[in-house]
Amino acid sequence: MMTNFILLGFSEHLKLQVVLFMLFLGIYVMTLAWNLGLIVLIKVEPHLHTPMYFFLGNLSFVDISYTSSIAPKMLCDFFQEQKTISFAGCAAQFFFFIGMGGTECCLLAAMAYDRYAAISWPLLYRALMSPTICMGMAITAYTGGFLTGLVQTSFLFRVHFCGSRVINHFFCDLPPLLALSCSSTFLSQVVNFLVVCAVGGTSAVVVLVSYGSIIAAVMKIHSTQGRMKAFNTCVSHLTTVILFYGSGLFSYLHSSAGHSRDQDKVVSVFYGAVVPMLNPVIYSLRNKEIKDALKTLKDRKKRMSLLCLIV
């Protein structure tokens, strides 16, 4: 019975490890700062208490949890001669990484439906996206994500690891773990495929159908300015969807195509660390309401500072 694994990480060259550590530390710190900042901003600004920003706040929380499932261990391993991880620790890391990834898929689908309701049914929007419905959709997203993680982890860690215990990766991911198995991985791969189709596939269909309906509704708007305004409300979300789904699909298709593990690591860094960092930036740069909220918050701080000086 294998009790631990050894992670190879990125490089054995000391100078390169220092550079990579500083780079990944900067990415992780910015991910935490920007996503936490967005959560706080949505919480303190009353005019951001809408369904769209409710889901955006949840997306920021998921991004923090998603990248935190791998980043702290990865950063600590830069200073370890032997990068070991226990069997239970590996299973837990895989569970949270997959669980939060599944949750993000479901949240992106919920956000696509929210945009569809806002553009296609503006008069019924409050009824279609009431607080109760939004909370139910969020709970469903977390439930779906963690069920995904639970099922995939249960079947993956039922296979026998009796040969090499060296994982050619910087965290416990599906392809390198399957490569270490000395028993049949057919059942685990079938379950993984079915779960991905059920959660990721269903979420992708919801996104595609929602945007198909959005495009049909926008094309009925006669004013060019009205069309641009409607499309602008979807650009940030659509960019996030493309980055998340595109990088995730490329990573797993890339792995199954027999490419080198070093290339897989680079792709994994993108969807596991870079995308969670970029999401709040994408929404902030193209969102007038968030810019106005930041301006209001700065003005409020200035007034408070001035009041404190006077007192």
| Helix or strand holding residue 84 (H, E) | strand 84-86
Whether the predicted pLDDT of 257 surpasses 50: no
Q: Tell me the residue length of the chain.
A: 311
What mean pLDDT comes out for the span 226-230?
77
Q: How many CA atoms lie within 13 A of 86 on its CB side?
A: 3
Q: Which of these ranges, 10-19, 60-69, 195-204, 210-219, has the smallest mean pLDDT?
A: 10-19
- Give the residue, 109 or 258, on which the prediction is more confident: 109
Helix 14-44, helix 275-285: angle, nearest 10: 40
* Average pLDDT for 97-107: 93
Q: What is the DSSP string of 220-268?
A: T---HHHHHHHHHHHHHHHHHHHHHHHHHHHHHHHHHTT--HHHHHHHH
Beta bridge partners of 85: 5
Does the pLDDT of residue 283 top 60, yes or no?
A: yes
pLDDT of the residue at 188: 85
Spatial distance between the Cα atoms of 203 and 240, rounded to a whole number of angstroms: 14
The CATH number of residue 240's host domain is: 1.20.1070.10
CB atoms within 10 A of CB 75: 14
Mean per-residue pLDDT over the chain, rounded: 84
pLDDT: which is higher, 82 or 151? 151
Give pLDDT tens digits for 117-157.
988 888 899 999 999 999 999 999 999 999 999 999 999 98
Among residues 138, 143, 125, the alpha carbon closest in space to that of 55 is found at 138
Q: Residue 98 — pLDDT band, cuts 50, 70, 90? A: very high
- Count: domains in the chain: 1
Indicate the pTM of the whole model.
0.89
Q: What angle do CA 200, 263, 246 make, to 5 degrees?
A: 30
Q: Which domain holds residue 117?
A: 4-310
H or E segment and range at residue 285:
helix 275-285
User: Please, which residues have CB within 8 angstroms of residue 13's CB and are 6 or more apart in sequence?
Assistant: none
At a CB cut-off of 8 Å and minimum separation 6, what does 174 contact?
94, 98, 152, 156, 192, 252
CA 220, CA 229: separation in Å to the nearest integer?
A: 13
